[in-house]
Amino acid sequence: MTYLFLPGNAISNKDWINNLSNEFDLPKEVIHYNHWDTEEEISFDVELQKL
């Protein structure tokens, strides 16, 4: 089984999801949204491809 971590849209969730995912053993995947780095609106077309 692989743990999949899907944080909320807000950049404030980035640290939270990283800390939470560290509490779980491997295998795991943490989704990081592109707009967290660009500070633009979320692009669902881009983010859905990560799933």
Instruction: Determine the Cα angle at 28 with ends 22 and 31, to 5°.
Output: 90
Name the pTM for this structure: 0.79
Is pLDDT at 24 greater than 90 in this prediction?
yes
pLDDT number for residue 21: 97
Which of 24, 27, 26, 31 has its CA nearest to residue 50? Answer: 31
Taking only the tens place, the pLDDT of each residue in 27-47 is 999 999 999 999 899 999 999
